[in-house]
Amino acid sequence: MEIDRITQELTKEIKRENVIKDESMSKHTTFKVGGKADLFVCPSNVNELSHAIKTCKTFNIPYYVVGNGSNIIVKDNGFRGAIIQIYKNLNNVTIEDDTITADAGILLAKLAKIIANESLEGFEFAAGIPGTLGGAVYMNAGAYGGDMSQVLVSADVIDEKGNIITLSKEELELGYRTSIVQQKDYIVLKAVLKCKKGNKEKIKDLIEELNNKRKEKQPLEYPSAGSTFKRPEGYYAGKLIMDSGLRGHQIGNAQVSEKHCGFIINRGDATANDIINLINHVRNTVRDKYHVNLETEVRIIGE
């Protein structure tokens, strides 16, 4: 791969310090695992993001766009190509009456706080989800009875041809942990949300209550990617895993959480391989015992 030539092209539009060679992905995923990406690119705006994608396409190299890395596992041998991170830089928010327009790179927790400060309700469910707005649109993220489909109005995305298009809520085809964005591998740039006026103190109390529930029931003290598996129709993944006798089961330093069996955690120095092997063991055990196929919420990339 012509890394130097690609870097040269990228840095025509993107600051040199925002194009990093051989970057360890364990620094950029919430699981704290993963090998090196050939290139790690942090665009500061939509034009730079568009330039990064066009450059990857011109040189025919694989690329993957990430938020804060809360929903991916990068394999131990790393990623041959460019990881493009939109978290941190693309995170502007504007609010007009009950309508919120926010960039895809903003963390959900930060956005929930901003929305609550405007006395707007309906986004409290997202306050503890460990991801960005772009990722939340991509997978129609949800928790505690709420999900993105309840507040989304539209999203601006880059389609497979590199065009920026606006998709309405209907066009986003939001389902359980899925959307057209995921099916077609679009890249979310920003989203428009609509909430309703409420009581600021009640909104903040609800956020605190939900965050306390999370702390009590989820292993937040360990690196993880949140819920590892989607909820199978008619079942709960955590209960199936627990009933399969897998609570606390460990491969290397990856473990099925004793606190919540729906979470696989890194107990310290786990490898991506440990986590992937444990995911596969859990899936096989549950399938053999209950004839239910568990699908992962996390995406596994790299080699």
- Of 177, 231, 247, 267, which is the active-site residue? 177
Residue 122 zone, left/alpha/beta (φ > 0; ψ -120 to 50; rest): left
Spatial separation of the C-alpha atoms in residues 272 and 278, rounded to whole Å: 10
- Quick check: helix, strand or coil at residue 297? coil
Q: Do 104 and 85 meet the contact criterion of CB atoms below 8 Å apart? A: no
Residue with tokens 């489909």: 149
Distance between CA 255 and CA 132 in Å, rounded? 25
CA 56 to chain centre: 22
Residue closest to 247 by CA, chosen among 285, 221, 273, 220: 285
Residue 177 annotated among the catalytic residues of the structure:
yes
Catalytic residue among 26, 224, 227, 257: 227
Which residue shows structure tokens 């696989």?
Answer: 264
The order of strands in the sheet holding 164-168 is 93-96, 99-103, 187-194, 152-158, 164-168
Give the C-alpha separation, 49 to 27, whole Å: 21
- Could you tell me whether strands 146-147 and 142-143 are parallel, antiparallel, or unpaired per DSSP bridges? antiparallel
Q: Does 80 participate in catalysis according to the annotation? A: no
Query: Annotated catalytic, 96?
Result: no
Q: Of 9, 23, 121, 297, which residue is the catalytic one?
A: 297
Q: Which residues are catalytic?
A: 177, 227, 297
